[in-house]
Structure 1
């Protein structure tokens, strides 16, 4: 934990930095001069943890109390009066359960939504408050909510994932509508990274075909080389954020 405030002109809060796309985004942000606060249940790889510009904030995103306490810690740790650009990237999400809806217990539903939807909503709320309470200083503030093509299309045995991603898309649009008349508007985008070679893809390929009809699709996508590397997608996202987009837009990574 940090003992004094970090002074920097670019800072980012990224969830799910222990692996996959979140880790790749954190690494690319650091290369581009950001101080990164990575929120996750488990620590990242040592090569990231050793970097001075990275601060690991251990947090179970499904625990709302812990989530708010972690955000408070971050807001105390960065000298926002010196920040010219501030990012919130809500990347963490659950893929499972991957079963037909009648076979999913209520507790599993709650856990999924707490992690994949409630946590991003809470962080977006706190982030906007942090930015707009600053009366003497304004910065370029941007929210990126990582979504999926499955937020627009229905899929069997993926009711939880599809529903939470569809809600993330709508949350992003609602934030943009609310920010329309703000004195210092926060930009909010949903970002669909496409198919990436991550642990989520491995989990999808490992499902029983009888329970998860799309298992064959995920397996074939892997075998035919359709999965992109997380580092390439992270770099593409940061390039896109340097371009102008309508607030509330759904940004999509390049497809093969």
Structure 2
């Protein structure tokens, strides 16, 4: 990585899904300090209370006082209505002064990690998981690209928050591994199809979040569960802030290969 990079991301319209907590919330806060006045953050999540508190927090920051606009959209990303609400709010917030569109596909769920592959016989259960974790990110990305097509003076960056589980099988984690692998391949294809786009599959590492707590308590495979418990006990989990700083570094330097999988430990 080059040490020379821009000090800011430009006058940005940034859409962040799963923005109300955890890594998504941290991305919103870090992003607010790296954009020029006149930028817009469109924050999407299911929790209205958490979104409103984040919106208020960002508005009170220096960036907010300097003209950062923050829009919150209460949306279930597994439903087309939720996706359309996010796109509509983004279209309304866009102005000709925006020079950088960033979409952060962060919304995701762990799924049932207590069971093996052979127990998943209910197609509706599997479809429901894939709808939130795969279909929604594809449809949202497609709608955003349609609404904000390539034009002179507009950079477009698509970030997919991925995982080691996109590359490596974890016993009893079939839903999560399948969803992450499918989603990452989707964005690799996008990078091939749209050479003007900047596409990044960023793996934030083992984060100290509610999802990790769920992994330590609900993972069905004893060995996998123990590895998560040991990681926690040995203080090896990363803070969202530490991982997000690496993501911001990648976006500022902007010299990654489009479509690449980049792990937090590689930055």
How high is the TM-score relative to the length of structure 1? 0.87
CA distance in 2, matches of 1:121, 1:189: 14
Q: Which of 152, 164, 178 is the aligned partner of 2:179?
A: 164
> 1:19 — aligned with what?
21
Kindly provide the CA deviation profile for residues 28-82 of structure 1, in whole angstroms up to 9, marking residues without a partner as x: 0112234211110013266522133322110001112321232122212222x11
Q: Does 1:48 align with 2:58?
A: no
Paired residues of 2:73 and 2:85 also in contact (CA < 8 A): no
Tell me how large the CA RMSD over aligned residues is.
2.0
Q: Which of 57, 80, 91 is the aligned partner of 2:73?
A: 57
Aligned 1:188-199 pairs, distance under 5 A = 188-199=199-210
Kindly provide the CA deviation profile for residues 95-125 of structure 1, in whole angstroms up to 9, marking residues without a partner as x: 0111212323322211211111111101111
Unaligned 5+ residue runs, structure 1? 1-7
CA distance in 1, matches of 2:233, 2:222: 18
Aligned pairs, number: 241
Paired residues of 1:131 and 1:138 also in contact (CA < 8 A): no
Distance of aligned partners of 1:254 and 1:208 in 2 relative to their CA distance in 1, 3 Å threshold: closer
- Give secondary structure in 1 for the equivalent of 2:148: helix
Unaligned 5+ residue runs, structure 2? 1-9, 60-68
Kindly provide the CA deviation profile for residues 112-149 of structure 1, in whole angstroms up to 9, marking residues without a partner as x: 11111111101111122222165xx5311100001000
CA distance in 2, matches of 1:227, 1:187: 29
Q: CA deviation at 1:174?
A: 0.5
CA distance in 2, matches of 1:35, 1:102: 46
CA distance in 2, matches of 1:97, 1:108: 10
Q: Does 1:229 align with 2:246?
A: no
